[in-house]
Amino acid sequence: MIYLDANATTPLGAPARDAMTAAMAQFFGNPSSLHGRGQAGRAQLEHARQTVLAAVGGAGGKIVLTSGATEANALAWHGVLADRRQRHAVRVVTSAVEHPSIGALAAQLRTSGVEVIAVPVDAQGRLDMRAYAAALAEPTTLVSIMAVQNELGGIYPLAELARLAHQAGAVFHTDATQAPGRIPLNFHGMGVDLASLSAHKAGGPAGVGALWLRKGQRVTPLVAGHQEDGLRGGTENLLGIIGMAAAFAGLSQQLSGMAQVRVLRDRLWRGLVAAAGPLTRNGDVAPEDETGHVLNVAWPGVDGARLVRSLDLEDVCVSSGAACASGTQEPSHVLLACGHAPAEARAGLRFSLSAATTPAEIDEVIALMPRVLARGRRPAS
């Protein structure tokens, strides 16, 4: 199997697997219990929290552990807005290329009458900074812009975006799900107020994540309860949290492998151009503006979802659009936002590499692509 779908989820890495396996036998206590077993669990929980906090440059801030980035996004949005709404009218500025979990929050809030502005992007997925500044000209409560685009790999300028948001009096949230291990993170230094994280894009298990909060940043909880300092009720997913911390402890090592990942990603692009052209590239920006682990391409007139299935027959795992929207056969909302027609947006195919990707795997994918394309081009029977 050749797995080139790291943005959908990464396989469980050895550090997380080993830590979780060991913890499974040892730490069954409820961290809220007063006895030794419970307190052993509590100690693990707090240790894990500190590990995650340090790994994201979150000094002085707070980590609220959640079921993943989707919940962290919801806690950030609803939590900030509920806190403000008691006193003021609220307004949100976000981008047109956020993950569907943010898109769903925007839709939900619009239904209840909240103004949510989606800032457009250019043809390669870069945020339109003039439109961003214009959106902030009106009183804004919350700004939410992702750190790394999940379909394209583009990096958004968080420090600058946060500075402008603060100038306008808004709180700045980022969905940083795709960032850990791919770009250096220093939420505190970047001026971010809230950041959503997930374990399963960085070698941790799915079903666990966190919301980082700057010191003093208030949120109203979505789930009431005494756990997580009153910000997220429910008995903690200790095993998952231990797995997340073990994965995040290795983020700087993951980061140091990114230069090699970029070499392989570029080899894939050049190889596909030579062996299976003509094709176009989406999210084609300067190297410093993208992570280097994503290649999003399109063969004109060939449906991306068909290519995913065709590659699957060759035991190669990739995505068309975001995994969460796959299966719906809807064109990618990200490629539509880049100005592509629906048919072009359906043609997008995303390869997302990881440190586990080998040159031999890349060469094999390049070699089998002409055959896969021929199958993808045949009329559907």
Nearer to ligand PMP, 317 or 324 (CB): 324
Taken as a whole, the chain contains a residue count of 381
44 touches ligand PMP by CB under 6 A: no
Which residues from 129-148 bind ligand PMP, rule CB under 6 A?
Answer: 146
Minimal distance in Å, beta carbon 39 to ligand PMP?
A: 29
177 touches ligand PMP by CB under 6 A: yes
List the one residue from 44, 51, 150, 352 that touches ligand PMP (CB under 6 A). Answer: 150
Phi, psi dihedral angles at 317 (to 5 degrees): -100, 120
Which residues from 262-321 bind ligand PMP, rule CB under 6 A?
Answer: none
Give the total of residues touching ligand PMP (CB under 6 A). 14
Which residues from 322-351 bind ligand PMP, rule CB under 6 A?
Answer: 323-324
Secondary structure class of 186 (helix, strand, coil):
coil
Query: What residue type is 332 in one-letter code?
Result: S
List the one residue from 178, 282, 296, 310 that touches ligand PMP (CB under 6 A). Answer: 178
376 touches ligand PMP by CB under 6 A: no
Among the residues of 9-128, which ranges form H helices?
A: 14-26, 36-55, 69-85, 100-111
Minimal distance in Å, beta carbon 267 to ligand PMP?
A: 25
Nearest to 304 by CA among 325, 290, 285, 284: 325
Residue 324 designated active-site: yes
Phi, psi dihedral angles at 31 (to 5 degrees): -55, -15
CB distance 193 to 213 below 8 Å? yes
List the one residue from 5, 175, 303, 344 that touches ligand PMP (CB under 6 A). Answer: 175
List the one residue from 19, 69, 213, 373 that touches ligand PMP (CB under 6 A). Answer: 69
- Whole-angstrom CA distances from 123 to 51, 117, 130 are 38, 19, 15
Minimal distance in Å, beta carbon 158 to ligand PMP?
A: 14
Candidates 68-76, 89-97, 103-111, 310-318; binding stretch for ligand PMP (CB under 6 A): 68-76
Secondary structure class of 221 (helix, strand, coil):
coil
Minimal distance in Å, beta carbon 292 to ligand PMP?
A: 17
Q: Of the residues 324, 330, 356, 375, which is catalytic?
A: 324
10 touches ligand PMP by CB under 6 A: no
Minimal distance in Å, beta carbon 273 to ligand PMP?
A: 27
What is the rounded distance in angstroms from the CA atom of residue 180 to the CA atom of residue 35? Answer: 35
Q: What is the DSSP letter of 222?
A: S
Per-residue binding letters, 193-212, with ligand PMP (x by CB under 6 A): -----x----------x---
Q: Which two tokens stand for residue 300?
A: 């004109």
Q: What is the CA radius of gyration of the chain?
A: 21
Secondary structure class of 197 (helix, strand, coil):
strand
What is the rounded distance in angstroms from the CA atom of residue 59 to the CA atom of residue 56? Answer: 8
Phi, psi dihedral angles at 281 (to 5 degrees): -115, 135
Candidates 63-71, 243-251, 302-310, 337-345; binding stretch for ligand PMP (CB under 6 A): 63-71
99 touches ligand PMP by CB under 6 A: yes
Q: Which residues contact 273 (CB under 8 A, 6 or more apart)?
A: 279
- Interface ranges with ligand PMP (CB under 6 A): 68-70, 99, 101, 146, 150, 175, 177-178, 198, 209, 323-324
Just list the catalytic residues: 324
